[in-house]
């Protein structure tokens, strides 16, 4: 993988997103404790946004994209939002219904076995 042209924060962020998508870095901490990380990366911001603004209701990726832009004043591609939401489904934070044309997500209740282990 190579970065062409000037190295920018956005380009580095995309590389890190790709690395995380492909399974992380060998020797990195486990992803099971991701709720309490105190970083300001896009994934953590999106996680926080979903848990605070969408509990108890169904939403689609475009809803999250709009809310993210409104709150963080940052344009995030819909493909990135969809990737992050898919990760949250894989990690047991969200449930997903519908079809790949328009997935509908809901936040799992905090008392469920998988989500309660995320805060430990």
Stretch 17-31: mean pLDDT: 51
DSSP 67-96: HHHHHH-----HHHHHHHHHHHHHTTSEEE
62 within domain boundaries: yes
Residue 84: inside a domain, yes or no?
Answer: yes
Quickly state the pLDDT bin for 23 (edges 50, 70, 90). Answer: low
Do the domain assignments include residue 65? yes
Domain count, the chain: 1
Within a domain: 12: no
| The pair of three-digit structure tokens given for residue 98, joined into one six-digit string | 């519908």
Residue 6, pLDDT > 70, answer yes
pLDDT score for 28:
44
**Greater confidence, 114 or 16?**
16
Tens-place pLDDT, residues 50-95: 999 998 899 999 999 999 999 999 999 999 999 999 999 999 899 9
CA angle 92, 68, 73 (to 5 degrees): 150
The CATH number of the domain holding residue 37 is 1.10.10.10
Which residue range forms the structural domain that includes residue 38? Answer: 31-119
**pTM of the full predicted structure?**
0.61
- Output the pLDDT for position 63: 97
Q: Answer for the pair 67, 53: CB distance below 8 angstroms, yes or no.
A: yes
């Amino acid at each position: 993988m190579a970065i062409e042209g000037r190295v920018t924060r956005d380009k580095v962020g995309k590389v890190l997103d790709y690395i995380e998508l492909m399974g992380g870095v060998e020797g990195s901490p486990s992803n099971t404790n991701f709720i309490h990380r105190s970083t300001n990366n896009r994934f953590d911001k999106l996680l926080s946004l979903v848990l605070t603004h969408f509990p108890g209701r169904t939403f689609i990726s475009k809803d999250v994209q709009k809310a993210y832009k409104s709150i963080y004043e940052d344009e995030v591609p819909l493909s990135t939002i969809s990737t992050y939401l898919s990760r949250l489904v894989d990690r047991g934070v969200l449930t997903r219904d519908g079809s790949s044309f328009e997935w509908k997500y809901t936040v799992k209740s905090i008392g469920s076995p998988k989500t309660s282990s995320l805060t430990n």
